[in-house]
Amino acid sequence: MNKNSTLNYFLAALFILLFSACGARKERTLFNAATDVVTDSIKQVYVVNDQGAGEIYYKIKVNDQLAVRNLQDREFGVKNSTASAATATVGTNVTSYQVDADGNVNLPAIGKVAVLGLTRKEIANKLQTLYGDKLLVDPIIEVTVVNVKVTLLGEFNKQGNFLLERDNTTLIDILGEAGGINTKTADPKTLKIIRGDRSNPEIIYVNLNDINSLSSKKLILQNNDLILLQPTKSSALSEKLQGINNMIQPVLVLLNVALLIFTISR
C-alpha cells in the first residue's frame, strides 16, 4: 500500500469519525430543531422566530397558584384548616391559593381579592393594605407565584424544574441554582431556550463562552421556558462507543468460549 492510499484511508476514517460524532450528539439531544446547526458558529445570542420582548414583570393569570407570607410572622400563610378549597401545599408547610376563572384569589380573613393582570409587587401592596385594615399591624407581604417555572434538561449539574420566584430572573440566576454546567461533557456553545407556543416556539441560542451574551434581554427568563444544553461531540461519541463496546464484549466472550471448545474437541 503506497503513501497516498494510506493517507486516503486515514482521511476517510477521520471523516467517518467526525460524522459519527455529530450523529452521536444529535442522538443524545432532546427536541432537535433544523436551526440547531447554527450552534457551531454563533458568537453571542441568535434568535429564531423572534416574538419580541417578553414579560419583565410577570402578570397574574387564571389558575396561577399564589403563596402569600407576612415576613413579620413566621406562622402567617402556613397550612391551616381555614384555607379555601382551591389551595395546594408548597413544600412542607406553605399553602398556595389558586386564581379562579374570574381572576380572584380567596384568602384567609379577607376573602376574595381581584388579582388578574397584576404583578407580584402590585398584589403584595394590595394585600398589605387589605390585611393592614382588617387584621395585621404594618404587615410586610411577600407573594410568590409557585407555578411560574423553567425546565433545565441536558448537561447541567442539576436538571429539573426551577421556580421563577422573582421578576427579572436571568439565565445566569437559574444556572447558579442548577450548580452550573457539567464542564466535562457540556458544550457551552449549544445552550438553547425554547420559549412560548410549543407549536410555533421562539428559539434562542446562546454561546456561554462569550461574556457579551449576558447583556441580551432575551436571557430574562419567561414562564415555561425549556432550557437545553448539548454535550460536546467528543463526549457524545465516547458514550456511544462505550455503549457499542458494552454490547460487543459479551459476543466476543461467547466467540472465545466457542473457539476454545472447538479447539479442545479437535
β-strands 87-90, 45-48 pairing: unpaired
Give the per-residue pLDDT at 83. Answer: 43
Question: Contact, 107 vs 97, CB < 8 A?
Answer: yes
Specify the DSSP class assigned to residue 97.
Answer: E
Cα–Cα distance, 147 to 96 (Å, whole number): 10
Q: 57 — alpha (psi -120 to 50), left (phi > 0) or beta?
A: beta
Give the per-residue pLDDT at 38. Answer: 76
pTM over cut 0.75 = no
Residue type, 118: L
Question: Contact, 9 vs 15, CB < 8 A?
Answer: no
| 257 grid coordinates | 468460549
Q: What element of type H or E holds 255?
A: helix 233-265
70-82 confidence digits (pLDDT tens): 887 766 655 543 4
Q: What percent of the chain has pLDDT over 70?
A: 74
Identify the residue with better confidence: 14 or 192.
192
32-51 confidence digits (pLDDT tens): 888 887 777 788 999 999 99
What is the residue-averaged pLDDT of the chain? Answer: 81
Structural domains in the chain? Answer: 30-55+148-234 (3.10.560.10), 65-145 (3.30.1950.10)
